Chain A
Amino acid sequence: MASIDDSGGGGGHKKGPGVKKAKKLSTAVDMTPMVDLGFLLITFFIFTTTMSSPTTMQLYMPKDTDKDEDQNKAKESGALTIMLGKNNVVYYYEGQLLPDGSNFKTATFKDIRGIIIQKKKDVIAAHVHDAGCTKIQEEARIGNPKLNPPIPPDPNWKNACLDKDLVVVIKPDEDATYKNTIDILDEMAISAIKRYAMVDLFPAEKLLIQATEGK
């Protein structure tokens, strides 16, 4: 200890009555305030830190084109149209919308994944092999390392073209929120839908949504 011991001075002369004896000082410091401060700062940094870093989601939009031959024609059997209404309600129909609107159905965001998966199963079941299919299989077998991010060779390349007729058309209504739009695009990623498009509603569909929402 770094303190001077004054007791061993040979017991020399005695100090007078007014002279106080120097106390032996302890060098131990009370660390409690320091700990307090330390934890205060920790709390501050815990609250200000955002641990989850944001990610980004890719979206490719088609070029607006008026020419009919430029537009991708979707096979009717493989088409699923999903419309987003207000209050997180989803409407959908398969193939073409019937004139009487009888195949226009209502669903929720919880149900829609099951509907997409079911549609995919139906399309795969109805699949017929053709020349275009062989090309898709070949592309999947090789992969594409040049792209960013690169596409690795698919070990299941034989199945790569089974769902090639499946196309999901997403049509958000004016009352749909941005979250709904992102959620439905996310469903495409979750169910591995390769072909989907985001387009505007037809007037007939708008009327049906308005009728269902009771406006």
Chain B
Amino acid sequence: MPSVKIPKKSTFVDMTPFVDVAFLILTFFIMATKFKPEEPVEIKTPNSVSTRELPESDALQVTFDSTGRVFFGVLSQKDQEKLAVIRHINDTRSLGLSEAEMKNFVRTPSIGVPFSGLKQLLSIPQEDQKNFKQPGIPLDTLGGELLYWIRDAVGTFSGKKLQYLIKGDNNAKYPAFKQVLIAFKKNEIFKFQMITMLEDAPAGSELSIIRNREKAASH
């Protein structure tokens, strides 16, 4: 009786298309990723229905965390502008910073120390600053030191349209927010932008009706 011969099949699978897809997805994620400069604190911002985009340049950003520590940062694409800001502050507050320390400020995303501790913070290289516990910029009901930071930064950027960003943590208390607002108000600044995460307008609300109408009109 002739035996039926079963052909021996190879278990080897051609993985080339699989690799293709994997690297295509990989390329997409590499392109889509934007690495943020490391902030000294992690902030969980509230949600809002606002759709306005966050400016990346020409802005002053004040950050406060859940414990009320306040940080100040300058958003600018040009290092020269940041350098001018710290130079100006160094002069007006007579901090006695060295040239290298001022260069270090350019690379620091935000500052959260009193003026008295600024020299110490800036003497630490930017990469190691995250290990340095920053106490926050001193604030009181009259604006505190934040008032001078804002005043000097605005003075340096004179003639340019600046935007004022406020980034607060969900669990921060209202007085912290209020004191930040006071520091701005004392500098005759009354228009702010609060950094939030986008959420949809609730269905059926007046805003969603208006937005749907605008969408229909633009089509």
Contacts and interface: CB of A to CB of B under 8 A. Distances in A.
A125 interface: no
A179 B217 CA distance: 34
Given A175-B173, A186-B49, A52 B207 contact: no
Interface residues of B, number: 60
Q: Is the interface of B mostly helix, strand, loop or mixed?
A: mixed
B170 A178 contact: yes
Nearest to A59: B192
B214 interface: yes
B214 A61 contact: no
Interface string A9-42: 0000000000000000000100110110011011
A198 B219 CA distance: 37
Interface residues of A, number: 51
A182 B170 CA distance: 9
Interface of A: 28, 31-32, 34-35, 38-39, 41-42, 45-46, 48-49, 51-64, 84, 113, 117, 149, 152, 155, 172-183, 185-186, 189-192
12 contacts: A34-B19, A38-B23, A38-B26, A49-B32, A55-B54, A55-B195, A57-B196, A62-B190, A177-B172, A177-B173, A185-B48, A191-B207
Interface of B: 12, 14-16, 18-19, 22-23, 25-26, 29-30, 32-33, 35, 45-55, 64, 165, 168-178, 181, 184-185, 190-198, 201-202, 205-207, 210, 213-214, 217
